[in-house]
Chains A and B, each alone.
Chain A
Amino acid sequence: GAGVSQSPSNKVTEKGKDVELRCDPISGHTALYWYRQRLGQGLEFLIYFQGNSAPDKSGLPSDRFSAERTGESVSTLTIQRTQQEDSAVYLCASSLGGLAGFQETQYFGPGTRLLVL
């Protein structure tokens, strides 16, 4: 079946511009996660959605970062006034979510490689 998809796969932008990254989770997955991974480093948690609400936004690095999710499906991560340090791979993952006692598993999309010049 279809996995998690992300678009665009690559994005090159100029410093100061806004970018929007999209994630389509696996159908039926209520939980959705955004992570950032800088070159050669581990995954950095950004934000988590359960349904359309975001109970945990603690990982967003600054107020330039925001995310939304609609219809318990697609999510967009927006970075305003991009900076060079925003260059990274942005990974989205989804899981079934919210089922107590169930062995939750996350499935990742291929990521969006963002380069800010």
Chain B
Amino acid sequence: RKEVEQDPGPFNVPEGATVAFNCTYSNSASQSFFWYRQDCRKEPKLLMSVYSSGNEDGRFTAQLNRASQYISLLIRDSKLSDSATYLCVVNTGNQFYFGTGTSLTVIP
């Protein structure tokens, strides 16, 4: 079983739409959680950490459900510049486990 599983998409949404990505992880001992963004032919960049109480950064909201071992990312009012691959990342001990990513294209 994979450590981190994500729906690969692709998600194609119109500008202004709200879109949600989900991710599940297998190890209940996992300690910290992140969403990264990867643009085409670029390295992954940290979008936001995910805290137990949930957290928001502008149009982006991340949620963590430890009981269900589930992480989500909500993007409101999608912009063309949000088009990218979104990677769910779980830290267990000193090891980071990456999902395969969810592809998002925001359409004009």
A-side interface residues toward B, CB under 8 Å? 31, 33, 35, 41-43, 45, 48, 50, 55-56, 91, 93, 95, 97-98, 101, 103-111
Contacts and interface: CB of A to CB of B under 8 A. Distances in A.
A41 B91 contact: no
A104 B92 CA distance: 10
Contacts of B43: 91, 108-111
- Secondary structure call for the B interface: strand
Interface string B28-43: 0001101000000011
A106 B45 contact: no
A110 B39 CA distance: 12
8 contacts: A41-B100, A42-B98, A45-B98, A55-B94, A93-B96, A97-B94, A106-B34, A108-B43
Which one of B34, B46, B94, B95 has the greatest number of beta carbons of chain A within 10 Å?
Answer: B94
Q: Which 6 residue pairs of A and B lie closest in terms of their CB atoms, listed nearest first?
A: A42-B100, A108-B43, A43-B98, A103-B32, A104-B91, A108-B44
Size range of the chain B interface in the assembly: 20 to 34
B49 interface: yes
B99 A98 contact: no
B99 A105 contact: no
B95 A56 contact: yes
Which one of A35, A91, A108 has the greatest number of beta carbons of chain B within 10 Å?
Answer: A108
Contacts of A56: 95
Contacts of B89: 106
B95 A105 contact: no
